[in-house]
Amino acid sequence: MKKIENGIRKIWFNSVRKRFEKEYLEISTLRNSDSLNNFITQKRNNLYIHAFNHCRYYRKVFEQIGLIQKESVDESLIDEIPILTKDIIRKHYQDIISDDYQTRKWFYNSSGGSTGEPIRLVQDDIYSKWGSATNYYYFKNVLGIDEPLEKKVILWGSERDLFKGGMEYKAKIQHWFSNTIFLNSFKMSEQDIERYIRIINSFKPEIIRGYAGSLFELCRYAEQKKIMLYSPRIVVSAAENLTNTMRDVIELNFSTKVYNFYGSREVSNLAGECKNGLLHLFQFWNYVEVLDKDNQPVREGEEGRVVVTNLFNNSMPMIRYEIGDMAILGPKICSCGQILPTLKKVTGRITDHFILENGTIIHGEYFTHLFYLKDWVKAFCVIQEDYSKIGIQIVINSTINRLDQVGIEKKIKLVMGSNCKITWNIVEDIPKTPSGKYLYTKSLIRR
């Protein structure tokens, strides 16, 4: 029976891989720094020319600095392209979207989490193919694992499953084909954690992937209760800043190495950790710069702002987009053999978790997801003031959408309890952290 199931899954994966096989093969031909740099230059220049011809915002900006001349890019002027911020995207939203985006299979996405005010993004099928190829490249070429065919447990957040009482049928089928068990980490009571541990120990996955905080909470509980955890081949931590304490606890309890993965909703995969502990930047997909306060590149070992140019989203080009994170630049060459340059560490991503009186952990990103794609919301901060008291500081574009407000409150009470008191405070601005980031969830109990 197992052979038949594995055969079905292999047929499924081969059909899926065909969707991004061309992109993956193109990446795989990059054998050295010169071929990588030539690839980046070509794709980046193609993006600039497309943006100049199809986006009113970029046409104006590029004309001001003289970047495009007769369908050619003056590469000496690339560093003069203004940094793209969330405020600029809001102000010039329609002018940043390409006038030919409807010629592709496009869809909406949203920024969010702890890295900035939510903004609506337009992405497309070409963008998705390159993102999938990049993800496959990381597991295959950096970690040496054929990820789609391996048994996986994903400890991730899905507010939809909490609202609907379970996973949609289509998602269940997808997870069966991909040999994946999905465990919802947005709400983890002690009973949930114990059940998740039983599932992991019985399923025996090769890969466990999840939010850094959720993996840490599960391992800390297992350690406190002296419960042995099955040791997978690897653990991949994502979505949050993996601290040294988190890493130590996760590696100790799973008895395997944790690999840190860096990405964002706006531009997907950015970097993945290798066996040497460096984060390799996927420059063939997202061209990343680490800049100081004067927009100059930092040197190795220095901290700076992460600025990203996605090379394949022609529907809504994100050129020199300041993502809201801080990182320490690593060496250009790593002894692991990869040609991709590195980061030593991402230092600026923060998301607090909330805690109930019975000890249940509520993931901080549960609350940030409630504000995604709400056009009337400019910025927000959800504060746990007490076990059953939530304060929401919010900056609005016009007026509060009362229907959205009722829905948000209902979903907060779903995890915090029906007696939870929720107060809204409309403010002019929400102060940033010392590192220059917005803190979107904050628990006063845990501080």
Q: In what order do the strands lie in the sheet with 441-443?
A: 421-426, 389-396, 377-386, 441-443
Q: What confidence score (pLDDT) does residue 220 get? A: 86
- Using only the alpha carbons of the chain, give its radius of gyration: 22
For residue 48, give its domain range: 1-349
First to last CA, the chain: 52
Helices 212-224 and 244-254 pack at an angle, to 10 degrees, of 60
Q: What confidence score (pLDDT) does residue 112 get? A: 59
Strand partners, 237: 210, 260
* Last-in-domain residue among 304, 330, 349: 349
* Last-in-domain residue among 349, 369, 399: 349
347-365 residue pLDDT tens: 865 456 788 998 888 878 7
DSSP string, 74-130: -GGGGGGSPPB-HHHHHHTHHHHS-TTGGGS-EEEEE--TTSSS--EEEEEHHHHHH
Q: What confidence score (pLDDT) does residue 348 get? A: 61
Higher local confidence (pLDDT), 25 or 187: 25
Q: What confidence score (pLDDT) does residue 421 get? A: 97
Residues 105 and 202 in one domain: yes
Q: Which two tokens stand for residue 326?
A: 């801080």
Q: Which residue has the tokens 């193109």?
A: 26
Residues 342 and 423 in one domain: no
**Does residue 447 register a pLDDT over 70?**
no
360-390 residue pLDDT tens: 888 787 888 898 778 898 888 999 999 999 9
Q: What is the mean pLDDT of residues 257-281?
A: 95
Whole-angstrom distance, CA of residue 233 vs CA of residue 205: 8
Which of 28-37, 155-164, 389-398 is predicted with the least confidence, judged by mean pLDDT?
A: 155-164
Q: Which two tokens stand for residue 187?
A: 């709400």
**Does residue 433 register a pLDDT over 70?**
no
Helix (H) / strand (E) containing 261: strand 258-264
Q: What confidence score (pLDDT) does residue 236 get? A: 97
**Does residue 424 register a pLDDT over 90?**
yes
Whole-angstrom distance, CA of residue 75 vs CA of residue 310: 17
DSSP string, 177-209: HTTEEEEE-SEE-HHHHHHHHHHHHHH--SEEE
**Domain of residue 115, CATH code:** 3.40.50.12780
Q: What confidence score (pLDDT) does residue 8 get? A: 82
Which of 76-85, 186-195, 291-300 is predicted with the least confidence, judged by mean pLDDT?
A: 186-195
Q: Which two tokens stand for residue 150?
A: 């391996």
Residues 239 and 359 in one domain: no
Whole-angstrom distance, CA of residue 63 vs CA of residue 66: 5
196-242 residue pLDDT tens: 999 999 999 999 999 888 898 899 899 989 999 999 999 999 887 78
Q: What confidence score (pLDDT) does residue 166 get? A: 53
Q: Which two tokens stand for residue 74?
A: 């003056």
Strand 187-188 and strand 279-281: the pairing is unpaired
**Does residue 165 register a pLDDT over 70?**
no
Mean pLDDT of the chain: 89
Count Cβ atoms below 10 Å from residue 412 Cβ, excluding itself. 20
Q: What confidence score (pLDDT) does residue 293 get? A: 86
pTM for the full predicted model? 0.82
Residues 24 and 81 in one domain: yes
**Does residue 404 register a pLDDT over 70?**
yes
Whole-angstrom distance, CA of residue 381 vs CA of residue 439: 7
Residues 303 and 379 in one domain: no
Q: What confidence score (pLDDT) does residue 436 get? A: 42
Whole-angstrom distance, CA of residue 154 vs CA of residue 215: 10
Q: Count each helix (H run) and each strand (E run) in the chain, helices first.
A: 13, 20
Residues 343 and 359 in one domain: no
Which of 118-127, 168-177, 268-277, 296-305 is predicted with the least confidence, judged by mean pLDDT?
A: 168-177
Whole-angstrom distance, CA of residue 326 vs CA of residue 321: 13
* Last-in-domain residue among 319, 349, 379: 349
Residues 423 and 338 in one domain: no
Whole-angstrom distance, CA of residue 373 vs CA of residue 84: 20
Whole-angstrom distance, CA of residue 206 vs CA of residue 203: 9
pLDDT-based confidence at residue 437 (cuts at 50, 70, 90): very low
Residues 369 and 305 in one domain: no
**Domain of residue 370, CATH code:** 3.30.300.30
φ/ψ of 331, rounded to 5, equals -70, 155
Residues 194 and 324 in one domain: yes
**Does residue 327 register a pLDDT over 70?**
yes
Q: What confidence score (pLDDT) does residue 360 get? A: 84
Residues 338 and 403 in one domain: no
100-157 residue pLDDT tens: 999 999 999 887 544 445 788 999 999 999 999 999 999 999 999 988 889 999 998 7
**Does residue 80 register a pLDDT over 60?**
yes
Q: Which residue has the tokens 């022609």?
A: 314
DSSP string, 298-332: PPTT-EEEEEEEESS--SS---SEEEEEEEEE--S
Say what percent of the chain tops pLDDT 90. Answer: 65
Q: What is the mean pLDDT of residues 172-195?
A: 86
Say what percent of the chain tops pLDDT 70. Answer: 93
Q: Which residue has the tokens 């963008």?
A: 127
Q: What confidence score (pLDDT) does residue 160 get? A: 52
Residues 285 and 327 in one domain: yes
**Does residue 74 register a pLDDT over 60?**
yes
Whole-angstrom distance, CA of residue 59 vs CA of residue 77: 15
φ/ψ of 3, rounded to 5, equals -65, -40
Distances in Å between the Cα of 334 and the Cα atoms of 80, 273, 338, 343, 438 are 30, 11, 7, 11, 33
**Does residue 417 register a pLDDT over 70?**
yes
pLDDT-based confidence at residue 10 (cuts at 50, 70, 90): confident
* Structural domains of the chain, count: 2
Residues 305 and 374 in one domain: no
